[in-house]
A and B are shown apart, each in its own frame.
Chain A
Amino acid sequence: MPEVNAETVATSPEAVAQQLAASRYLADDSLATAIFLAIRLGKPLLLEGAPGVGKTEAAKAIAELLGRDLVRLQCYEGIDAAHALYEWNYQRQLLAIRHAGEHEIDIYDDRFLIARPLLQVLRAPEQRVLLVDEIDRSDHEFEALLLEFLSDFQISIPERGTIRAAAQPIVILTSNRTRELAEALRRRCVYHWIGYPDAEREAAIIMLRAGNVAQATARAVATAVQTIRARPLAKPPGIAEAVEWANAATILEKGGSPWPEAFRRAIGVLIKDEEDLSYIAPELGRIVEEALG
């Protein structure tokens, strides 16, 4: 991939939106503005939203837009510095000591350093984009560590000294909001709340993402999914599920099921919770028929 200067790509929010669309991601004005501001202000971008609204996809599209590799750090409870920053390759160090015998050897050489995502990005800030995924799953200690990294973009390795980023790396954080993030972290970032798209945009996304779905099908799926999301479900369907539903229904229809029936049969890819299924089942026929118009 050719290297692109961030400032020349992000000339205006519209330009950003256009190029995201070229990488098959449809962003609304608000998201495009947030991305534009994050790139130009040199601040991390914090994306929050319900599961399945395309937060991680947005990060992938931004990396593609800038022509950079995406380095992903998946957070989980108990994640620590050895998983996020760096680790020494102890086995190799021991072998090297054995092998060197009487000679002197630097066991803190680059050969023995395993770079984890944060260090990887720090070393090549202009070729990589950092995605810190689902930061709400990590614990407070890790959030503090990340805060330090995001404010100075440097890592101290006791055996090696401090490593600094040559340029400001582009960082994207996502959160499902299962817990409140520290105020300090929110303050430091450009913030965007991703909601579910409206029916029209969702239909466009389905057209773009699904294999070969007719426009009428995409529109019907989008309308039906909007109605289903308005119900009090334990797990409301995300955009990816809507795309899958459109795909599955199209395949079934080609296999010989007539229209409303194909939607009903493919419901398993849209709603993946037994209780939700039994809740929505009696209404499903009506919802689909209304959506088909």
Chain B
Amino acid sequence: MTRDFDNPFFPFTGRRCPVGADEGQRQRRQESLPRAAVPLLGFGRLLRRYGFAVASEQISAFMQAVTLLGPRSMADIREAALATLAPPPDRRDEFEAHFQSHFYGSTSAVIEADADEETRIKDDGGADDKRIEAEHRQEGGELSSALEQLSSRDFQRDDDSLTAFRRKLSSALPARRSFRTVRTPSRGKLDLRRSLREIVSADGDVPSPLLRRRQTVPRKLLLLIDVSGSMKLHTEDYLKLAHAAVQGADRAEIFTFGTRLTRITSALRIRDRDQALARAAAQVDDWDGGTRMGPTLLAFLSVPRFSSFARGAAVVILSDALERGDHAELETAMRRLSARAFRLSLATPLAGDPRFRPATAALRAILPDLDDLIDGSSLASLTGFILSLARPAPAAETIWKRVS
């Protein structure tokens, strides 16, 4: 990171620094810059230090932009920075604060200002992972115990079944027809491009026609994992399952929810499971707390980027659906989710008990929206269910009516 840093392409000097330039050389290079340009370069560095992805190409564009604009005022520099350094919209406030403190020298960089009324949403996409990890380590206590728990319990049998699950997953997910076409020996439409080449090379004769047909691609898989206190016994297994899913499927998205909503997909992309789970564990703030399932799911749906993950996807919610208080919001959220999803399933560990019936008010209310209500108490039943998602099954309501 720092090396990259020492090696920007300066439009002002018009040459590239050699890789591995030492500190002294860097000093001299900086001196060869016009004095006014130094703060601009410094600002790029400052942003990188705070985990913004800033390429040297962007810094040179920033300098060019400032030159083009005059600059007539600080506002020009700010606009140029916004346009060329392209901070992600959700970190815009933070960017503003850094700009203020760098160019105006004001130290009151107020970054954290989030009303606790609203459900907090955390996306691990753009942020600097290292920094997040470091921050959370300091919190210690509760979190580190969760970490230990995650890494200490390990069962060989589960591992084997998860490996098999990972391997089978991408071919077992429900498929949809893609817009793209693939070559096929039979049952397809005429592939004119290839056929024409054949005809030309056969000197005008028409050999047997070549065919193409539309490709099928696996649907997305979206797992929403409840990490509240009542699910404590299962979250660990669920995260392992989620890791296997992210590794096995082309397009899987994983979120955890309790009192907040956290996206942990990119943490789980790390191949090594222990490392991936430790990082995911560090990102989730609401371990073993209460559940606000309705509001968090609504929060999920209100972020367009997230709710589009659900569109046409197989959505599996891993939760006991023990919603405290009013369940009207949960009902709305489930209705919206089921309208978007290809198939909406709820896996509850309570269904592991043979005497289980969907009897709570919340469950009864959401049952019509569910495609499946299944047993989520063991990894085996869950992996078996996810692998069978492509096969049609009667709606949850029909099944549970028959039982009760």
* B58: Cβ under 8 A from any A Cβ: yes
Number of interface residues of A (CB under 8 A): 44
How many angstroms between the C-alpha atoms of A147 and B75 in the bound complex?
31
Q: Please state if B86 and A191 are interface contacts (CB–CB under 8 Å).
A: yes
Bound-complex Cα distance A177 to B90 (A): 11
Q: Are A191 and B83 in contact (CB under 8 A)?
A: yes
Q: Mark A58-89, 1 if CB is under 8 A from B, else 0.
A: 00000000000000000011111000000010
* In the complex, B196 has a CB within 8 A of chain A: yes
Partner of A29, one of B79, B195, B298, B332: B79
A191 touches B82 (CB 8 A): yes
B89-A88 in contact (CB<8A): no
Given known A33-B83, A193-B92, contact A234–B301 (CB-CB < 8 A): yes
Residue of A nearest to B299 (CB): A232
Q: B270 to nearest A CB, angstroms?
A: 18
Are B55 and A33 within 8 A (Cβ)?
A: no
Q: Among B53, B80, B179, B332, which residue has its beta carbon within 8 angstroms of that of A183?
A: B53
With an 8 A cutoff between CB atoms, is A114 at the interface?
no
Cβ contact of A78, chosen from B69, B178, B192, B336, cutoff 8 A: B178
For the complex, what is the distance from the CA of A257 to the CA of B69, rounded to whole Å? 51
Assess whether B111 is interfacial by the CB under 8 Å rule: no
B residues near A90, Cβ cutoff 8 Å: 192-193, 195-196
Tell which of A40, A97, A189 touches B86, judged by Cβ atoms closer than 8 Å.
Answer: A189
Which A residues are in CB contact (< 8 Å) with B277?
A: none
How far does the alpha carbon of A41 sit from the alpha carbon of B84 in the complex, in Å? 10
Cross-chain contact A48 with B89 (CB below 8 angstroms): yes
Partner of A180, one of B61, B126, B196: B126
A77 and B82 contact, Cβ closer than 8 Å, known pairs A41-B65, A50-B304, A234-B302: no
**In this assembly, does A254 line the interface, its C-beta being within 8 Å of a C-beta of chain B?**
no
Q: Which of A11-41 contact B (CB under 8 A)?
A: 13, 29-30, 33-34, 36-38, 40-41
When the two chains form the complex, which single residue of B64, B126, B301 contacts A41, counting CB atoms closer than 8 Å? B64
Measured CB to CB, the nearest residue on chain A to B306 is: A178
> Nearest residue in A to B123 (C-beta to C-beta)?
A180
- State whether the Cβ of B125 lies closer than 8 Å to any Cβ in chain A: yes
Known contacts A97-B199, A180-B125, A34 near B304 by CB under 8 Å: no
B61 touches A192 (CB 8 A): no
Nearest CB in chain B: distance from A276 CB, A: 11
Chain B interface bracket (under 10, 10 to 19, 20 to 34, 35 or more): 35 or more
The 8 A CB mask of B171-182 against A (1 = contact, 0 = none) is 000000011100
Closest Cβ of chain A to B298, distance in Å, is 8
Contact present for A78 and B86 (CB under 8 Å):
no
Asked if A94 and B125 sit within 8 Å, CB to CB, the answer is no
Bound form: Cα–Cα A95–B297 in Å: 58
CA distance A33 to B84 in the complex (A): 11
**A-side contacts of B106, CB under 8 Å:** none
Partner of A40, one of B68, B179, B305: B68
Instruction: State which of B55, B83, B199 has its C-beta within 8 Å of the C-beta of A37.
Output: B83
- B89, B92, B193, most chain A CB atoms within 10 A: B89
Contact of A191 among B57, B84, B125, B199 (CB under 8 A): B84
Determine if A34 and B79 form an interchain contact, defined as CB atoms under 8 angstroms apart: yes
Chain A residue numbers with a CB within 8 Å of B76 are 33
Residues of A within 8 A of B92 (CB): 193
- State whether A187 touches B304 (Cβ < 8 A): no
- Is there an interface contact between B336 and A234, defined as CB atoms closer than 8 Å? yes
Interface 1/0s, chain B 42-81, versus A by CB < 8 A?
0000000000010101100100110011000001100110
- Asked whether B196 lies within 8 Å of A187 as measured between CB atoms, the reply is no
* Residue in B61, B68, B178, B332 whose CB lies within 8 Å of A275: B332
Q: Are A94 and B196 in contact (CB under 8 A)?
A: yes
Chain A residue numbers with a CB within 8 Å of B179 are 76-80
Specify which of B58, B195, B301 lies most central, judged by the most chain A CB atoms within 10 Å of its CB. Answer: B58
Give bound CA distance, A142 to B65, whole Å.
29
Q: Hey, which chain A residues are within 8 Å of B336, CB to CB?
A: 234, 275
Q: Which of A30, A80, A180, A275 contacts B180 (CB 8 A)?
A: A80
Asked whether any CB of chain A lies closer than 8 Å to the CB of B204, the reply is: yes
Task: Note all chain A residues with C-beta closer than 8 A to B305.
Answer: 177-180
Find chain B residues with CB under 8 A from A193 CB: 89, 92
Check B33 for interface membership: any CB of A closer than 8 A: no
CB pair B80 A37 closer than 8 Å: yes
Chain B nearest CB: distance from A273 CB in Å? 10
10 contacts between A and B (CB under 8 A): A30-B82, A33-B69, A34-B83, A41-B64, A77-B178, A90-B192, A180-B126, A190-B83, A191-B84, A234-B301
Which 9 pairs from chain A and chain B are nearest by CB?
A78-B179, A191-B86, A90-B192, A33-B79, A178-B308, A34-B83, A193-B89, A187-B55, A190-B83
Contacts A97-B204, A180-B305 known; list 16 others, CB within 8 Å: A13-B79, A29-B75, A37-B68, A37-B69, A41-B68, A50-B304, A90-B192, A90-B193, A91-B192, A94-B199, A107-B200, A187-B57, A187-B58, A188-B57, A191-B84, A191-B86
- A interface residue numbers (CB < 8 A to B): 13, 29-30, 33-34, 36-38, 40-41, 43, 46, 48, 50-51, 76-80, 88, 90-91, 93-94, 97, 107, 176-180, 183, 186-193, 232, 234, 275
